[in-house]
Amino acid sequence: MVFSLLLTTMLALDPSPQEGFATFQQAVEAANEGRDAEALAAFQRLVNLNPDDLDGRLWIARLHVRMGNQDLAEPVYRGVLLEDPSDLEAMLGVANALLARGEFEQAEEILDVAEELEPENDEVISAVGRSHLYAGRTPRAIEYFERAYAVSPTEQHRMSLEGARLSYLHRVELRGSGEQFGGSTPDSHFGDVTVNIRLNDRWRVFGRGQAQRKFGVSEQRGGGGAEWRWKSTTILRAHALVMPDNTVMPEGDYMGELQYTYMDATWTGSVRHFDFTGAKTTAISPAVQWTPAGTRYAFGLRYALSWSESNTLASVSSGHSLHLQGAYRVRPRVWAQLGYAAGVEDFENFSIDRIGDFRANTAAAGFRIDLPTLTGIVGNYERQWRSGDDMNRFSLSLQQRF
């Protein structure tokens, strides 16, 4: 307060700094017109003149959030909350900052108070829903997102509700692909169907069947697996797909995976074992998928170390694979996707020609459309360069929640 008084006195003695100085209304107009940096500077100067101007301080915090500086907005919101403990916007500002850091318990203490003050405020209800979602309490999150959408049926609330439902409901996925080779190798075709059923909040089971015609050989395999939610953010997953006497597809495909989700990032670590006629391959693969909140971007990174043993050779052949993925949301429901892979590009469709030290480079481009009916459509094109025979692959998948 002493500093503010001295500053006010100095400005009163020297009128030159006042030239071109924006009023509160002019600063608001600049903010509404999208001139964020100009508006922020104006509000900061106004608050320096009058530190008791809570409206000006809230505008400073809003602009920090709008400009992507959540860490700068939090102390401003906290300062307002200290002086006015019932200010709802300041409560939400602090709670959102805590949620962004994964401090769910502290955020929920503030949100409990906010919900008592305004139980029908859609922003409060939505924030409580996000706290449940981040903490792994998806059923509770869906309840709150439904309430938020009922109070205010905005596109943002609808997308939050759909996102929670997509991760929670039963689902069925159909996928088909075709490969075209540059040399004398005949074209190949692949089909895959998966049905995933939620038994309860901890257990899911799934069945899977695949059919393929590759190198002139038609084969199938099938099986299933289970998912167990060990903790709210941790899932254990396993599957087994088998078919004796396969020659191109594995006779056995066994996988164990640990998945951990923290905020906007999902980390996985998996071990996968493939049994072929006369050979076997094991792959260890860590991966991360990151979708920063409040952005239009998504990123993925996967590495795989594999080693193969043959019944006819005493040595072990190892291989390394790297997958890079990126996506950009061009419309609320439409994503454009790009990818690159060095080595094995797809362990979901692993075949005998990819065992050992498989060297190839694959570029991919595609799209994903999320329909309001909880239907997802994914299309992808891949171009692979490898020794002896380049390959083009086209794939299309349909995912339906119910």
Residues 328 and 216 in one domain: yes
Distance between CA atoms of residues 247 and 240, nearest Å: 17
**E strand residue ranges, 121-202:** 171-181, 188-198
This prediction's pTM: 0.76
Residues 238 and 207 in one domain: yes
257 with 242: CB under 8 angstroms?
no
* Spatial CA neighbour of 374 closest among 158, 203, 191: 158
357: number of CA atoms within 13 Å, CB side? Answer: 4
Q: Beta strands 334-342 and 391-401: pairing type?
A: unpaired
pLDDT of residue 103: 86
pLDDT of residue 6: 37
Write the pLDDT tens digit of every residue in 136-161. 788 899 999 999 999 999 988 998 99
pLDDT of residue 155: 87
pLDDT of residue 16: 34
Residues 92 and 233 in one domain: no
33 with 61: CB under 8 angstroms?
no
The domain of 222 spans 171-401
Q: Show which of 148, 167, 186 is a domain's final residue.
A: 167
Residues 269 and 322 in one domain: yes
CATH number at residue 136: 1.25.40.10
Q: Show which of 143, 167, 191 is a domain's final residue.
A: 167
pLDDT of residue 228: 96
How many folded domains does the chain comprise?
2
Residues 12 and 151 in one domain: yes
User: How many residues are there in the chain?
Assistant: 402
Residues 129 and 258 in one domain: no
Residues 232 and 378 in one domain: yes
Q: Beta strands 234-242 and 297-310: pairing type?
A: unpaired
Structure tokens at 265: 């990032």
Residues 389 and 259 in one domain: yes
Given a cut of 50, the residues of the chain with pLDDT beneath it are 1-20
296 phi, psi to nearest 5 deg: -105, 15
DSSP 135: T
Residues 55 and 189 in one domain: no
188 with 216: CB under 8 angstroms?
no
pLDDT of residue 30: 84
Residues 162 and 256 in one domain: no
Q: What is the largest CA-CA distance in the chain?
A: 94
* Partner residues linked to 366 by β-bridges: 337, 380
Write the pLDDT tens digit of every residue in 86-117. 999 999 999 998 988 878 889 999 999 999 99
> Tokens 């602009």 appear where?
63
Residues 82 and 109 in one domain: yes
Contacts of 320 (CB under 8 A, 6+ apart): 303, 304, 305, 306, 342, 343
376 with 368: CB under 8 angstroms?
yes
Residues 148 and 186 in one domain: no
Q: Show which of 167, 198, 229 is a domain's final residue.
A: 167
101 with 70: CB under 8 angstroms?
no
CATH number at residue 311: 2.40.160.40
